[in-house]
């Protein structure tokens, strides 16, 4: 089986059922139940990611697109085609161009990307790219073997991010909000994953939410972290997410070697301790910033963007791991983490900060 284009008949039937269930949920949450169920077909075309066929009342979704992209992108395309269905069958705008005013207005109101791709683009504007590059340079300095220099560089990067957010709020600068999905979808969200999400949402100027997704090649549901924010902040959050997971795994391996540990029984507990310790370090820096008059007030417009994307949000409390010796050791290691990046990993044309050392 070609994993890029093919599915077994059972997996394809399961995929269609999942898309129909997603259609029902979106019809309820975004369109007020105004739409009638269409036929839904997985097609082999690569010309269109999706298409609303008004003559046959069919929504087509590209098989290759579904299998090569994350589920969040698939749902964006589905919402895009549902907006076409809404304009045609509810607004009765038969004479309007496919992406005309009625369609664009509907997409704006419902937080749907109106572009023909149906998927938000991630290119940074020039000013945002410059900000990312300045932060990347500071994080490169945080690679210094001198502990004090490294800590100062990390703190300077955080202060630069904070000042930028405050300046944007003061000047009422408009933000082109978008979203990214970070990490691989999993069947179970672990404590250290939740702590990383908390760190991003509290200290890196993005809103975070765990959303249900579907894994077509496995025929299973799961969860993935969605991060919403200004595009520069998404770029930074994506880097921090990858950095923390990579560094925590390295710290665990170092801990195992130092204590002659052979099993991974305490790995998850240790990783949770690492994230808790790093969060404490950021909290201390936040206190310093507050004493210097640098106070960030949460972006109400960003919260509104998140709630348009996800009208029905549930808040769930979770119990953390037992505070064992492994957790304490992880916490101690996390307090010493310096957020940095390899100096030779220069920002690319796409603004990606997450590059490996050569």
Write out pLDDT tens, residues 171-210.
555 567 889 999 989 888 999 999 999 999 999 999 999 9
Is the residue at 117 inside a domain? no
132 and 70 assigned to the same domain = no
Is the residue at 2 inside a domain? no
79 and 174 assigned to the same domain = no
Is the residue at 172 inside a domain? yes
User: pLDDT per residue over 309-349, tens digit each?
Assistant: 898 888 777 766 678 999 999 999 999 999 886 533 433 33
Is the residue at 344 inside a domain? no
Low-confidence ranges of the chain (pLDDT < 70): 1-6, 95-96, 116-126, 169-175, 294-297, 319-321, 341-358
Task: Kindly report the CATH number assigned to the domain that includes residue 52.
Answer: 3.30.2010.10
156 and 102 assigned to the same domain = no
Q: Is 227 helix (H, G, I), strand (E, B) or coil?
A: strand
Domain interval for residue 80: 9-110
Q: Among the three residues 61, 78, 110, which one is the final residue of a domain in this structure?
A: 110
Q: Among the three residues 61, 79, 110, which one is the final residue of a domain in this structure?
A: 110
The whole-number pLDDT of residue 321 equals 65
Is the residue at 252 inside a domain? yes
96 and 142 assigned to the same domain = no
The whole-number pLDDT of residue 123 equals 60
Q: Is 239 helix (H, G, I), strand (E, B) or coil?
A: helix
84 and 187 assigned to the same domain = no
The whole-number pLDDT of residue 328 equals 96
106 and 154 assigned to the same domain = no
158 and 71 assigned to the same domain = no
Report the half-sphere exposure of 11 (CA within 13 A, side-chain side).
17
Q: Among the three residues 77, 110, 143, which one is the final residue of a domain in this structure?
A: 110
CB atoms within 10 A of CB 147: 10
Longest dimension (CA), the chain: 73
148 and 42 assigned to the same domain = no
Nearest to 273 by CA among 198, 316, 238, 325: 325
Task: Return d(Cα 220, Cα 94) in angstroms, integer.
Answer: 39
Q: How many domains does the chain have?
A: 2
Is the residue at 24 inside a domain? yes
Is the residue at 289 inside a domain? yes
The whole-number pLDDT of residue 299 equals 81
Task: Return d(Cα 328, Cα 231) in angstroms, integer.
Answer: 36
19 and 154 assigned to the same domain = no
Q: What is the DSSP string of 329-353?
A: HHHHHHHT------TT----TT---
The whole-number pLDDT of residue 319 equals 66
Is the residue at 324 inside a domain? yes
Nearest to 190 by CA among 270, 95, 92: 270
The whole-number pLDDT of residue 153 equals 87
Q: Is 80 helix (H, G, I), strand (E, B) or coil?
A: helix
31 and 105 assigned to the same domain = yes
Task: Return d(Cα 260, Cα 262) in angstroms, integer.
Answer: 6
The neighbouring-strand residues paired with 60 are 41, 51
156 and 252 assigned to the same domain = yes
153 and 279 assigned to the same domain = yes
**Do the beta carbons of residue 44 and residue 5 sit within 8 Å?**
yes
């Amino acid at each position: 089986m070609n994993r890029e284009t093919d599915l077994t008949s059972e997996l394809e039937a399961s995929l269609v059922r999942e898309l129909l269930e997603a259609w029902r949920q979106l019809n309820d949450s975004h369109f007020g139940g105004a739409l009638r169920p269409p036929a839904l077909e997985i097609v082999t075309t690569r010309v269109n990611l999706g298409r609303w066929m008004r003559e046959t009342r069919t929504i087509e979704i590209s098989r290759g697109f579904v299998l090569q992209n994350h589920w969040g992108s698939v749902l964006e395309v589905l919402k895009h085609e549902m907006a076409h269905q809404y304009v045609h069958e509810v607004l009765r705008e038969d004479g309007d161009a496919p992406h005309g005013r009625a369609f664009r207005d509907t997409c704006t109101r419902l937080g749907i990307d109106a572009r023909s791709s149906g998927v938000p683009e991630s290119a940074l504007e020039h000013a945002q790219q410059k900000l990312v590059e300045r932060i990347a340079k500071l994080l490169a300095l945080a690679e210094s073997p001198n502990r004090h220099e490294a800590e100062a560089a990390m703190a300077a990067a955080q202060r630069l991010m904070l000042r930028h957010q405050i300046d944007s709020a003061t000047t009422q600068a408009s933000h082109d909000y978008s979203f990214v999905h970070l990490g691989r979808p999993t069947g179970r969200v672990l404590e250290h994953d939740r702590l990383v999400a908390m760190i991003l949402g509290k200290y890196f100027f993005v809103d975070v939410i765990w959303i249900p997704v579907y894994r077509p090649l496995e025929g299973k549901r799961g969860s993935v972290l969605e991060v919403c924010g200004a595009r520069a902040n998404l770029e930074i959050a994506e880097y921090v997410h990858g950095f923390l997971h990579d560094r925590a795994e390295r710290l665990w391996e170092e801990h195992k070697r130092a204590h002659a540990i052979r099993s991974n029984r305490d790995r998850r507990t240790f990783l949770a301790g690492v994230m808790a310790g790093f969060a404490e370090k950021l909290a201390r820096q936040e206190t310093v910033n507050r004493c210097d008059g640098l106070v960030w007030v949460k972006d109400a417009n960003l919260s509104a963007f998140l709630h348009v994307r996800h009208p029905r949000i549930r808040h769930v409390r979770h119990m953390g791991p037992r505070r064992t010796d492994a957790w304490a050791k992880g916490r101690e290691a996390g307090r010493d983490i310096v957020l940095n990046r390899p100096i030779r990993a220069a920002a690319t044309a796409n603004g990606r900060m997450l590059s490996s050392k050569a």
